[in-house]
Structure 1
Amino acid sequence: MIVPKLVRGFLDEHSDKHIDFRFHNSTGLTMDMIQGLKDRRYDVAFCSYVEQEPTIEFIPIAKQELVLIVPEGHPLESRDSIDLKETLQYPQVGFSTRSGLHRVIKKLFEKCGGHPEVVCSVEEDEAVAGLVGAGFGVAVVPRMPILDYMPVKPIQIAKPSWERNFYMATLKNVYQAPVIQAFKTYVAEHADL
């Protein structure tokens, strides 16, 4: 993941100072992280972009690849790439509406001209992959290292075209300590786009 690499690089560059990072995962959901920023529980959040959040600054820091995953033994398992339109006939495991991925994936299927049958929806990437591995359906998920250790096959999405960025989010128009400003600058300069 890019975030630990950015934090490590920042700390190495500022090794002469005592800087303390505290990591919070909350539920891992973008809306919970945005609320944490607004409540001043966090100075910085790494999450999906959220529209109509005028008090939040979103800075893209990385592109995130999405893949289709299928369980072992699935008819699509032999494929290396796919047009998502070809998956409409298969039951799918989706993300709950609270997940930033829900909107992204919904837009992908709108480009295909249809919507799959979603047999269940959960919030976390790993839970979606686990349900796919157990044979509940197929799913579109971020490419993540854990997929290599699960009974699923990742398949590249050739169509429709898409792009998903991962963002650093902070509150606008509030005082931020110099170390927070320095970290934001470091992250923006070292973004993996």
Structure 2
Amino acid sequence: MELRQLQYFVKVARKQHVTQAAEELHVAQSAVSRQIHQLEEELGVQLFVQKGRNLQLTSVGKLFLCRVEGILTDLDRAVDEVHEFLDPERGEIRIGFPHSLGINLLPTVVASFRKHYPNVKFRLRQGTYNSLIRDVMKGEIDLAFISPFPEKHNHVVGEVLLEEELYAIVPEGHALSGNESIKLDQLSGESFVMFSEEYSLRAIVLEACSKAGFTPQIGFEGEETDTIRGLVAAGMGVSLLPEMALKEINELQPVKVRVTEPVVTRSIGLIRRNGEKLPPVAEVFRKFLIDFFEKKAAWA
């Protein structure tokens, strides 16, 4: 069964006339008749009966028409979606991000991009470090913000967009809350509120504490920056969070203190599949992001 046969069948069914259908299709009448005949032979049924000068659908022909119209509509929609997906002015960008970048960075860059390309759509997926790399590798998303940036990876490549400083956060009234800066080892005896093991920020904090000469005591674990921040503000411990995760002001707000020894930072990058071209709209967005962060080096 060929697509042309289905298209010819629908046209004849709507016109109830082979000649008129052929005229609209810009093909010979014999070609339309031949395709309809071949379709009926393949199906083993009669789709039309002659009634005067017109053709009428048989009962099975009406049933078949209902299904075929649905199939052709879905096919047309799929073709339109493909063209839209590839259109830099109107396409869809599939992008992943970790929770810590979804609070401020992602809305900011998407809003800025849409000022130039208002018809572009975004399909967003939140994930952890490993899940974002996996989703890019599997082709489920085109791009992903990620932290830390994977310097060497066989299946994904990309660019570092910025380096962001991590601050110590402590409850109000804490002995260190009035300090402008601290050394990280001053928190060595504290209970830490830490990200769960699958989150890359946990590894960054653990490595920084190791450089400072201690292993943090973990009292609470969470999966979102809002949770970490809220628990610290409520007096459940201390932690380290990226600066952009501390921009939003809530009723429960910890005190942030700069860490000077060692200075703790994380790299934030953009990754894509290695060896594959991005869809045009995603490539436009990638170049926009590189330019955006080059112009706003002090964005965070």
| Residues 59 and 168 in structure 1, CA contact (< 8 A), matched pair in contact too | yes
Q: State how far apart, in whole Å, the 1-side matches of 2:239 and 2:264 are.
A: 16
In percent, how many aligned pairs have the same letter? 24
Matched ranges for 1:9-28 at <5 A? 9-15=112-118, 18-25=119-126, 28=127
Matches within 5 A, 1:24-43: 24-25=125-126, 28-43=127-142
Alignment gaps of 5+ in structure 1: none
Establish whether residue 154 from structure 1 lines up as the match of residue 256 from structure 2: yes
Aligned to 2:160: 60
Q: How far did 1:58 drift?
A: 3.2
Note the alpha carbon deviations across 1:11-53, whole angstroms, 9 max, x for none: 33345xx32112222xx42222222212222111112124653
- Alpha-carbon deviations, 1:81-126, whole Å to 9, x = none? 1100111011111122211111111121121111121112222211
Q: Is residue 96 from structure 1 mapped to residue 196 from structure 2 by the alignment?
A: yes
Write the letter of the residue equivalent to 2:286: K
Q: 1:47 aligns with which of 139, 146, 156?
A: 146
Q: CA RMSD of the aligned region, Å?
A: 2.0
Output the amino acid matched with 2:155: T
State the TM-score, normalized to the length of structure 2. 0.58
Q: For residue 168 of structure 1, what is the amino acid of its counterpart?
A: L
Q: How many residues align?
A: 189
TM superposition score normalised by structure 1? 0.87
Point out the structure with max Rg over C-alpha.
Answer: 2
Residue 180 (structure 2) pairs with residue 118 (structure 1): no
- The 8 Å contact of residues 206 and 216 in structure 2, kept in 1 or not, is answered as no
Name the structure where helix makes up a greater proportion of residues: 2
Give the 3-state SS of the residue equivalent to 2:154 in structure 1: coil
How far residue 2 of structure 1 moved from its aligned partner, in angstroms, is 2.9
Which residue is 2:209 aligned to?
109
Looking at structure 1, the residues matched to 210 and 270 of structure 2 have their Cα atoms a distance apart, in angstroms, of 27
Deviation at 1:65, TM superposition (A): 2.2
Aligned residue in 1 for 2:291: 189
Distance in 2, Cα, partners of 1:147 & 1:74: 19
Look up the equivalent residue of 1:63 and give its one-letter code.
Answer: E
Contact 1:147 1:154 in 2 (8 A): no
Q: Contact 1:129–1:147 at 8 Å: present in 2 too?
A: no
Shift of 1:140: 0.7
List runs of 5+ in structure 2 lacking aligned partners.
Answer: 1-103
Tell me the equivalent position of 1:138.
238
- Give the AA of the match of 1:6: V
Q: Deviations over 1:125-171 (max 9, x none)?
A: 11111221222211011122235542311111121123322111211
Work out the CA distance in 2 between the residues paired with 1:73 and 1:9. Answer: 39
